[in-house]
Amino acid sequence: CTLNCHVFQESLLSSSSGYSNYRGILNWCVVMLVLSNARLFLENIIKYGILVDPIQVVSLFLKDPYSWPAACLIIGREPLSVICYCRTGTISKTTGLILHILNLTSMLILSSATALTVTSMTPVGGVISLGVYTVLFLKLYSYQDTNRWCREIRQAKAKKMTRSFSYMYYFVFAPTLCYQLNFPRSPRIRKRFLMRRLLEMLFLMQLLVGLIQQWMVPTIQNSMKPFQEMDFSRMVERLLKLAVPNHLIWLIFFYWFFHSSLNFVAEMLQFGDREFYRDWWNSETVTYFWANWNIPVHKWCLRHFYKPMLRNGVNKFLAQTAVFLASAFFHEYLVSVPLKMFRLWAFMGMMAQVPLAWFVGRFLNGNYGNAAMWISLIIGQPIAVLMYVHDYYIIHHVNTT
């Protein structure tokens, strides 16, 4: 046997030990997270019973199919916009610019007016229709901007003139907001990949609806009384209770939209660029998160908004603030208009990201910055949800009674 059984060494949990394999602790965290959420879900079932009703959601759309103002708003406007832009090559530059400005302005104003005045349009239908209009607005802006750049550098003019009506419609339905003369195309449609994405879309959509019916709605309904009585401790308790299902639904929605849905559309159209998101979950700064969780919007902002401002002499901080300001406007536009009430909670929540990004970037690094990003997502969203639901409840239920 050896005489010496001790050597100079640090404890494993000391930072100086160089030890980095914490897989068991990570598994423990996952198990604890699953058990704690399982307890919350079981408590919800015992308290409220089974509230999931898929037929209820379907009946909302089939109740009166002849009075779907949201669908009519989408179907009626999009072909006119596409036809207008396909014919811009046959008119003068000045006339085309005037039509461009009028078309984009009327697109937002008329859609907002319709959503505000048509009483049969539900908030969900309003969000969907205004979301489609916003996407079309950004696409047509990119189409005009890109063709202007081509004319300025006097390149690819002949290619531009040969762009067909069908190619313009391809761009409208393609999972991108940035126009270019030739998109990368995949060689074939992978049927198995397409079927997996379709099954994910169907399953996750039903899961989202079920979680909202079973978990979100009762929690929000029980939050109204503490808000009316201004019971601060109960308000905080309701906020923290809502944070768990809200964040889980947000994560599922992210996967459903940015991975399943956009990949499904891209595969159908053989669209080659599938970078719809990057590793935002590893964000150590707020700026990195906003630049990587929604790549289509980030590319549009960078290409058509941020870089043009830098070229015109605007400093970097003001340009970033302007991007957040535009994003805040569209966030508020997509919430307040469908709810038919003017509030600034989404706008202020987005603008609060500017000082938060400065603080995290200056004082927090590494895991601390990543934790700050997660906290802002987990806590910030349910605050906005409760504020809007409370105001909507006061306007449409308390005031009417």
Q: What SS3 state is found at 277? A: coil
Contact 337, 126 (CB under 8 A): yes
Contact 123, 145 (CB under 8 A): no
Rg (CA), the chain: 25
Which residue(s) pair with 271 in the sheet?
A: 185
Amino acid identity, residue 17?
S
Judge residue 262's burial from the number of C-beta atoms within 10 Å of its C-beta, 0-12 exposed, 13-18 middle, 19 or more buried.
Answer: buried
Q: 392 Cβ partners below 8 Å, 6+ apart?
A: 339, 341
What whole-number distance in Å separates Cα of residue 261 and Cα of residue 283? 24
For 35, the token pair is: 């058990």
Contact 91, 35 (CB under 8 A): no
Number of residues in the chain: 401
Instruction: Cite the active site residues.
Output: 331
Residue carrying structure tokens 């050597």:
7
Secondary structure of 11-24 in the HEC alphabet? CCCCHHHCCCCCHH
Residue carrying structure tokens 């979950």:
281
Contact 185, 272 (CB under 8 A): yes
Residue carrying structure tokens 């029980």:
222
DSSP state of 130: H
Nearest to 207 by CA among 259, 249, 257, 264: 249
DSSP state of 92: -
Contact 177, 138 (CB under 8 A): yes
For 187, the token pair is: 């060689």
